[in-house]
Structure 1
Amino acid sequence: MTRRLCPGGETVTRIPAGSRPAADVVEAYLDHLRLERGLSPRTVEAYAGDLAGWLEFLGLEPPVGAAALAGVSGRDLRRWLAHLEERGLARASVARKLAAVRGLFRYAVREGWLAASPAARLATPRVRRRLPRVYTSEEAQALLEAAACGQGPAALRDRAILELLYGCGLRVAELSGLDLDDVDLEGGWLRVYGKGGKERILPLAGPVAAALRAYLEEGRPGFLEGRRHRPCRPADAQAVFLNRWGGRLSPRGIQAIVRRVGAVVARLQAHPHLLRHTFATHLLDGGAGLRAVQELLGHASLAATQVYTHVSRARLWAVYQQAHPRARARPAPAAPAPGAAAPGPEGLDAPPSAGAPGSPAGYGPAGGRQGPRPGSSPSG
């Protein structure tokens, strides 16, 4: 292998001798994300856009071979990050773009097309994770009731959609991708394919199962009439949720339905992922274990699920301050230092963002209880 000294004094490793790199490493990487890692088309599209902007800054035009990548130095990457900062991009956006570039170099190194990655030592911008907003049990119930107000197949479909989003915590793409053979109403389970094509089995019971059964038996046949005018794609023939033409209801269509139902409920902004957040938080409020919630959500990492424990504690702290005489008789504790949690009275922990704008003000798990038993832990 050969090395080249950059103007900044950095040494960049050339391609190892004897390797056969792809003609376009970027396209090979995107194919890897799509075919081997099973990332969704939207995620791959976002990575492609981030990489295209990065290549434009460097003045590189496709196809980008390994030789061109080997000429990129750490100094080039730092100039690019400074350029993004000058544009005023949010830290989360910069971190996402850097992740795309890091992944590209990591892939090229693993394939043997580069000996080292110039992005390995770059620091990722620290992003403060915001607590997700969640609905109270009353707000969630109001949404479900609003979805059931209409008549006909569309009302049955919309009610089943809202019930599944809140009762099973599905992602909107997972809901759109459901086929008839993924549903077993008699056995009481639902098969879902999440990110990366990972399969998980979810329980299906109570009002969720009843709403889905009503739609499949009485609502879905009405949408099949649309196929007489516009034949559907073979891949959509067994789709659970259908549009007016009898084709698979798209994620965007589901989002529009949820927004429309939310508009019926005064001052309530509705989005499918808010119902997923609410599903997780209400489970923890009711005493569910963190590992169980992770499995139900389909999170690959427990860290992604732990954010909901902070939401649950925030709601518990709000209830304590509102209801307990000892809390009303004393001033609120001082704000904690960044990254630290302030201890609440009587052994309760106040989260760093308690009381911040957007924090949930109410408390009410899915079962309608007023709170967990004293001493119970949401992460148990």
Structure 2
Amino acid sequence: MTASAYDDLVEEFRRHIGADRSAHTVRAYVGDLRGLLGHLDSVGCAVGEIDVAALRGWLAAQHEAGAARSTVARRVAAARAFTAFLHRTGRLAVDPGPLIATPKAHRTLPVVLDEAQAGSALDSGTASDDTTADGLRRRAVVELLYATGIRVAELCALDVDDIDRERRTARVFGKGGRERVVPVGVPALDALDRWLTSGRPHLAAPGSGPALFLGARGGRLGTRQARRDVHAHMGAAEGDADIAPHGLRHSAATHLLNGGADLRSVQEMLGHSSLRSTQIYTHVSIERLTRTYNQAHPRA
């Protein structure tokens, strides 16, 4: 069966998982599904005949091709979602998905700036460009990412009305459309005020709509340009402060914990569905504490 013959099934699966998963996850799962369907064709296995052996054969091929553990883990999740969908819709008599194991991914500590690096980079950066629309946007993007710890896609999705200046908060729509309200610091609000007053009007176009951040042509700022903004600002700072948007998120979370914030509050702010995702930042803080202890304690 050709790949196009599966189009209706793939589209039905896309709609099925789209209700409670982010657009990024949906795209990834659909891509994984097409890979699985191609493998099934190559071994002569029909959709209604999928079993544990067929799934393990596909995953083994991924491993042999050099796929990272995190990628294989995601493909396991996609396969499970697909077989559960097939079982629920009567296309598969038995769901083999729960019988396949998820490889444990190597969890690496995120790269973060220390508080002094972050402060220096944010206070300097592209200061000479701050009077241009692009410069004002870059500073506002960096300040807001660090102040809130939100994801770059969440930042790009913000509308002007999502910022509450009086309450110093931002309304954010995260993965799966889940809404949360996060606090915003005064420096970030001041940078936003300058962007909205002196930057955004120069880029606004008839089709700009309510988007908070705009690109060169007046449309909503894309994640790729937002990443370039972060690198342009942070890379221009003195010292080794160049970092990606997710690094600012990591830094914000770590600095909150270093400052005494509790794990649950940081979890809510970051929009993590599981506390386990937030706990990695405690490892960063503990690692730094251990280094300080070893350097400072006379009997370390």
Q: Same fold (TM over 0.5)?
A: yes
1:191 to 171, 180, 185: 171
Contact 1:148 1:156 in 2 (8 A): no
Q: Deviations over 1:34-82 (max 9, x none)?
A: 2x21422x32221111111111111179xxxxx9322112111222222
Pair 1:324 & 2:284 matched? no
Instruction: For 1:38 and 1:155, locate their aligned partners in 2 and report how far apart those are by CA, in whole Å.
Output: 34
Residue 31 (1) aligns with residue 48 (2): no
Q: Which of these residues, 183, 204, 209, is aligned with residue 237 of structure 1? A: 209
> Residues 20-59 of structure 1 correspond to what in structure 2 (within 5 A)?
24-34=8-18, 36-40=19-23, 42-59=24-41
8 Å CA contact 1:180, 1:240 repeated in 2: yes
Query: In the alignment, which of 132, 149, 156 is matched to residue 128 of structure 2?
Result: 149
Return the match for 1:103 from 70, 77, 81. 81
Work out the percentage of aligned pairs sharing the same amino acid.
45
Taking the aligned partners of 2:151 and 2:7, their CA distance within structure 1 comes to 36
> For residues 241 and 184 of structure 2, what CA distance do their matches in structure 1 show?
27
Distance 2:59 2:266 in 1: 37
- For 2:96, give the aligned amino acid: P
SS of equivalent to 1:201: strand
Which residue number in structure 1 is paired with residue 3 of structure 2? none
Measure the CA separation in 2 of the matches of 1:134 and 1:211: 22
Describe the superposition over 1:120-156 as per-residue Cα deviations: whole angstroms up to 9, x where unpaired. 2111112121111111112212321204332322222
Which residue identity is paired with 1:134? V
Match of 2:220 among 229, 248, 251: 248
1:206-257 CA-to-partner distances (Å, cap 9, x unmatched) read: 2111111121122211222xx2xxx42xxx4111111122211111110011
TM-superposed CA distance for 1:112, in Å, is 3.9
Q: Which residues in structure 2 correspond to 1:181-220 (within 5 Å)?
A: 181-220=161-200
Structure 1 residues 266-321: Cα deviation after superposition (integer angstroms, max 9, x where no partner): 44331000000111110000110111001111111111111111111111111111
One-letter code aligned to 1:271: A
Q: TM-score, normalized by length of structure 1?
A: 0.72
The count of corresponding residues between Structure 1 and Structure 2 is 291
Q: Which residue among 124, 148, 164 is the counterpart of 2:144?
A: 164
The aligned amino acid for 1:93 is T
> Over the residues paired in the alignment, what is the CA RMSD in angstroms?
2.1
Contact 1:148 1:158 in 2 (8 A): no
Three-state SS of the structure 2 residue aligned to 1:120 is helix
In 2: Cα distance, 1:240 partner to 1:188 partner: 16
The CA distance in 1 between the partners of 2:150 and 2:171, in whole Å, is 11
* Correspondence for 1:115: 93
Compared with structure 1, are the counterparts of its residues 108 and 214 closer, same or farther at alpha carbon in structure 2 (3 Å cutoff)?
Answer: same
Distance in 1 (CA, whole Å) between partners of 2:136 and 2:7 is 52
Which runs of 5 or more residues in structure 1 are unaligned? Answer: 1-21, 62-66, 328-380
Q: Which structure has the bigger radius of gyration?
A: 1
TM-score, normalised to structure 2, is: 0.90
Preserved CA contact (<8 Å) 1:262 1:270: yes
2:54 corresponds to which of 49, 54, 76:
76
* Alpha carbons 2:227, 2:244 under 8 Å: kept: yes
Tell me which protein shows more helix as a share of its residues: 2
3-state DSSP of counterpart to 2:125? helix
Structure 1: how far apart are the matches of 2:286 and 2:215?
40
SS in 1 for 2:182: strand
Asked if the contact 2:125/2:235 (under 8 Å) is kept, the reply is: no
Query: 1:147 touches 1:162 (CA, 8 Å); kept in 2?
Result: no
Deviation at 1:115, TM superposition (A): 3.3
